[in-house]
Amino acid sequence: MTQAGELSRSPLKLILLCTIAGVLAAGLLALGVWQLERRVWKLDLIQKIDQRVGAPLVDVPPPSAWPSINASNDAYRHVRASGEWLADRDTRVQAVTALGGGYWLMTPLRTDAGFVVLVNRGFVAAENKAAVPVPQGRAEVTGLLRVTEPKGGFLRSNDPAAERWFSRDIAAIAQARGLTDVAPYFIDAAAVPGQLLPVGGLTVISLPNSHLVYAITWFVLAAMVIGFAVRLLRRD
């Protein structure tokens, strides 16, 4: 006996299969629509970030603005800060860049306003770790504002006690270095002419935007489910 013949003698089974197919198709279509909405949001975010990167320099946000700092509204702002280096409290955070593997060199700067901001002075290859000059005295830093990266990197947790850092977790670094009044963001410093180490200006601004591909995938799967249900009904 053929499958179609079995289904024609089992209307309840046919109704059940079509109901399941309908629910599944509706769910897949909803996922596709959600991805299209995410695509609109991502394109808007990319446009805003492009505008921030190319905008004129502004002072880093003061403590009164800290509660409202977030990645969507503030990441990659073009900022500056002036103050004194706290050079004895560097933190090396593991990194992989176009220059290879090594470290981001995070150094606290006590600003003229009194609070502390961590500055990613740049990249240092592992073999050059001991060759980085210690910053002295006052400095004016320009670069891009970045938000904290809490807890650790992908599948790797920060271990402050062992001095193993995989992300730029501001709160954890501040605690480990005995810093107070620390801004909830850090500065990715711009490249400094003539400075060999650390290498600044390596910020990668890359926001993946594959939402259209995902949406098409969900819609195709929904069409396949609908096609299966139609085929069942026609066989019946």
DSSP result, 78-114 = EEEEEEEE-GGG-EEEEEEETTEEEEEEEEEEEETTS
Same domain, 92 and 22: no
Same domain, 171 and 227: no
Confidence (pLDDT) at 236: 59
Range of the domain at 147: 77-189
State how far the Cα of 33 lies from the Cα of 30, in Å rounded to an integer. 5
Whether residue 196 is contained in a domain is answered as no
The count of other CB atoms within 10 Å of the CB of residue 81 is 24
Confidence (pLDDT) at 123: 94
Whether residue 164 is contained in a domain is answered as yes
Same domain, 168 and 216: no
Whether residue 140 is contained in a domain is answered as yes
CB contact at 8 A, 165 and 105: no
Same domain, 101 and 164: yes
Confidence (pLDDT) at 1: 47
Question: Which stretches of the chain score pLDDT less than 50?
Answer: 1, 7-8
Whether residue 26 is contained in a domain is answered as yes
Confidence (pLDDT) at 174: 97
Same domain, 214 and 176: no
Rg (CA), the chain: 27
Same domain, 183 and 81: yes
Confidence (pLDDT) at 6: 53
CB contact at 8 A, 111 and 117: yes
- What is the total count of domains within the chain? 2
Confidence (pLDDT) at 121: 95
